[in-house]
Amino acid sequence: YPGHAATDDALLERRSDAYSPIQGHYYARPPRIERGWREHLVDVDGRHYLDMVNNVTLLGHGHPVIARAAEQQWRLLNTNSRFHYSAVAELSERLLETVPHGAFDTVLLVNSGTEAVDLALRLGRAFSGRADVACVEESYHGWSLAADAVSTSTSDNPRANETRPPWVHVLDAPNAYRGRHRGDGAGTAYAHDAVIRIAEWAAAGTPVGTFIAEPRNGNAGGIAVPAGYLGPVYDAVRAGGGVVVSDEVQVGYGRQGSVFWGFEEHGVVPDIVTIAKGMGNGHPLGAVITRTEVIDALADQGAIFSSAGGSTLSSRIGVTVLDVLRDEDLQGNALRVGERLRHELERLADRHRLIGAVHGRGLYLGVELVRDRETLEPASEETRLLCDRLLELGVIVQPTGDRGNVLKVKPPLCLSSGSADFFVTTLERALDEVG
């Protein structure tokens, strides 16, 4: 069938020989994709795929405005942020315009989400004067020593929960669908448990200096952090002298449609925001947004300098991404198309019992597949088969979560309603065959 016919086996073999397989690839026999346009990918045989996976390409593939801005900037100048040029100031100001006024006043630019998280943890440690960090189960925050230490997802590391360093403390995943507390009131119940744990860690001489969590559990499939959870947890950490980080790398930057930042949904304001992925539309770009006093705490421990972070090129691309996001009203599109998609997926759930829940908001959705709606037995094998079949039918989507039973739906924000409908129709066809 077409996707497989396009596979360039020899190239794949060269890749496996020369590039470490520890960083794997989608699909056992992936199509060879060399072009993209908006939410579409095109393989070397000219076959088109609907890309429901690329949240990094926030604006869409091959965006001409980004390509032009990048080319112009390359021709003019690309240097590091120790030089004086307009783009670094412009991007920092534009980022500060997106966060609550008065709560944040400064930005640091880096190259990735991992770097942003690593820096946030360093800042949290310096500002609170405490090494201990609390995070939640089933999360992913990056691959550096510190970011990996707070990454608890067993889909990335099957031994994650047995191998955390002693300064990392793990709270239950506040999952109101399949966790210990379910339904209405779950947020308050999880918060109650978390506040007790935080007090216990303090009593044991390991008070939490930094709390890091996503405002919506991205890695688990866009599963909501239930209302009433983050507020009390933030309060408890701060009351004990700690700071709180909202990791917005996955779910922030307008993707949820109704809000630009995920924390807004919870009526809370963190001390530190981390962001990357979509802010460069695929160009390596990340940021930490915080208060000057937090950064000042690190000042007597050395400077922070990244050779490419905040470079002329990266900053120019960052500004242009924000321009396009605004000019094309892509957050609005995420809201409109995302709601339509969610609605259609929920209707599909009425017809297909394999769909246990449709999680998420805007264009960050998770379709959780279960064998039994009472026991919630994960349909992990079926999810894998569905993804393989969807590839054959021209849709790229991947399983996520610790049980591998959630279809993670996070396409470029320019997704058209026609493409959303195509996704639902194709998923229905695949479910008829697999489920």
Q: How many CB atoms lie within 10 A of CB 3?
A: 21
Identify which of residues 114 and 405 has a Cβ nearer to ligand PMP in the complex.
114
Q: Which is nearer to ligand PMP, 249 or 379 (CB)?
A: 249
**For ligand PMP, which residue of 276, 287, 407, 420 counts as binding (CB under 6 A)?**
276
Nearest approach, Cβ of residue 277 and ligand PMP (Å): 6
* Cα angle 314-320-323, degrees, rounded to a multiple of 5: 150
The interface region with ligand PMP, picked from 121-129, 242-250, 254-262, 303-311 by CB under 6 A, is: 242-250
Residue 42 or 276 with smaller CB distance to ligand PMP: 276
Stretch that binds ligand PMP, among 10-18, 134-142, 252-260, 341-349 (CB under 6 A): 134-142
Among 247, 265, 344, 368, binds ligand PMP (CB under 6 A): 247
Which range binds ligand PMP by CB under 6 A, 16-24, 109-117, 287-295, 407-415? 109-117
- Between 144 and 425, CB nearer to ligand PMP: 144
Token digits for 129?
């004067």
Closest CA to 273 of 284, 260, 258, 283: 260
Among 6, 95, 117, 363, binds ligand PMP (CB under 6 A): 117
Stretch that binds ligand PMP, among 7-15, 73-81, 138-146, 170-178 (CB under 6 A): 138-146
| One of 114, 217, 315, 405 touching ligand PMP (CB under 6 A) | 114
What burial class does residue 293 get, using C-beta atoms within 10 Å of its C-beta: 0-12 exposed, 13-18 middle, 19+ buried?
exposed
Please spell the DSSP secondary structure of 122-180, one letter per residue: HHHHHHHT---EEEETT----SSHHHHHT---TTT-TTGGG---TTEEEEPP--TTTSS
Q: Which spans in 227-367 are helix H?
A: 230-239, 292-299, 312-327, 330-351
Any residues with CB less than 8 A from the CB of 259 and at least 6 apart, and which?
A: 265
In angstroms, the CA 302 to CA 43 distance is 47
- Single-letter residue type at 181: H
Shortest distance (Å) from residue 138 CB to ligand PMP: 11
Q: Does 249 bind ligand PMP (CB under 6 A)?
A: yes
250 interacts with ligand PMP by CB under 6 A: yes
Task: List, edge to edge, every strand of the sheet that includes 33-37.
Answer: 33-37, 40-43, 48-51, 395-396
| Interaction mask 194-223, ligand PMP, x per CB under 6 A | --------------------x---x-----
Piece in contact with ligand PMP (CB under 6 A), picked from 135-143, 287-295, 319-327, 377-385? 135-143
Options 7, 73, 112, 398; binder of ligand PMP; rule CB under 6 A: 112
Q: Which residues of 4-13 are buried (b: 16+ CB within 10 A; e: fewer)?
A: eebbbeeeee
Per CB under 6 A, does 270 bind ligand PMP? no
Q: Which is nearer to ligand PMP, 156 or 328 (CB)?
A: 156
Q: Which helix (H) or strand (E) holds 361?
A: strand 355-361
Binding of ligand PMP at residue 280 (CB under 6 A)?
no
CB of residue 201 to ligand PMP, shortest distance in Å: 23
CA distance 378 to 122: 37
Whichever of 400 and 426 has its CB closer to ligand PMP, that residue is 400
Round to whole Å and give the CA distance between 399 and 407.
5
What minimum distance in Å lies between the beta carbon of 86 and ligand PMP? 26
The answer to whether 319 contacts ligand PMP (rule: CB under 6 A) is: no
Question: For residue 248, what are its two tokens?
Answer: 């917005």
What's the min distance (Å) between Cβ of 274 and ligand PMP?
A: 7
Cα of first residue to Cα of last residue in the chain, in angstroms, is 21
Q: What is the C-alpha to C-alpha distance for residues 234 and 433, in angstroms, rounded to an integer?
A: 46
Strands 406-409 vs 106-110: parallel, antiparallel or unpaired: unpaired
| Least gap, CB of 248 to ligand PMP (angstroms) | 8
Instruction: Give the range of 37-45, 84-92, 106-114, 377-385 binding ligand PMP by CB under 6 A.
Output: 106-114
Footprint of ligand PMP (CB under 6 A): 112-114, 117, 140-142, 214, 218, 247, 249-250, 276-277
